[in-house]
């Protein structure tokens, strides 16, 4: 049995990786919004925080009614209860990654969780 799972994603508007990669501790999606479009719904979560990374393009995030400009290279954490929605700029496609994890579940990370050989 292999200790890793690999996939390649195409140009779909949204790709969720939890099933493809058999994730057990996070949900990760890669999202592509055409210029002038947006996520068609506002949402929040019960338990999970989300980490958004803008990979290409620019647009805005609306978090609890506040408009926040975002562009390639920007990263943000959004608390579970926050109401959120993302939009691409009128003249720019936007590609972003969303990592969803249970809030306050991180017990170790990087070198603290590593076993050195």
Question: Is-contact 33 86, C-beta < 8 A?
Answer: yes
- Calpha distance 74→108 (Å, rounded): 24
Using CA atoms, how far apart are residues 29 and 34, in angstroms rounded to an integer? 16
Looking at the chain, which runs of residues are DSSP E strands? 14-16, 27-33, 48-63, 66-71, 75-78, 84-88, 94-102
Q: Which domains does the chain have, with CATH numbers?
A: 14-103 (2.60.120.10)
pTM tops 0.85, yes or no:
yes
Which DSSP state fits 90? T
* pLDDT per residue of the chain (117 residues) written in tens, 0 to 9: 589 989 998 888 888 898 889 899 999 999 999 999 999 999 999 999 999 999 999 999 999 999 999 999 999 999 999 999 999 999 999 999 999 999 998 887 777 777 879
């Amino acid at each position: 049995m292999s200790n890793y799972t690999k996939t390649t994603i195409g140009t779909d508007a949204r790709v969720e990786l939890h099933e493809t990669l058999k994730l057990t501790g996070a949900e990760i999606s890669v999202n592509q919004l055409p210029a002038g479009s947006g996520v068609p719904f506002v949402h929040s979560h019960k338990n999970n925080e989300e980490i958004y990374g803008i990979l290409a393009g620019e647009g805005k995030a609306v978090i609890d009614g506040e408009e926040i400009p975002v562009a390639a290279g920007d990263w943000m954490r959004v608390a579970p209860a926050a109401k959120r929605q993302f939009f691409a700029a009128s003249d720019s496609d936007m590609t972003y990654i969303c990592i969803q994890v249970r809030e306050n579940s991180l017990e170790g990370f990087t070198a603290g969780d590593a076993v050195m050989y």
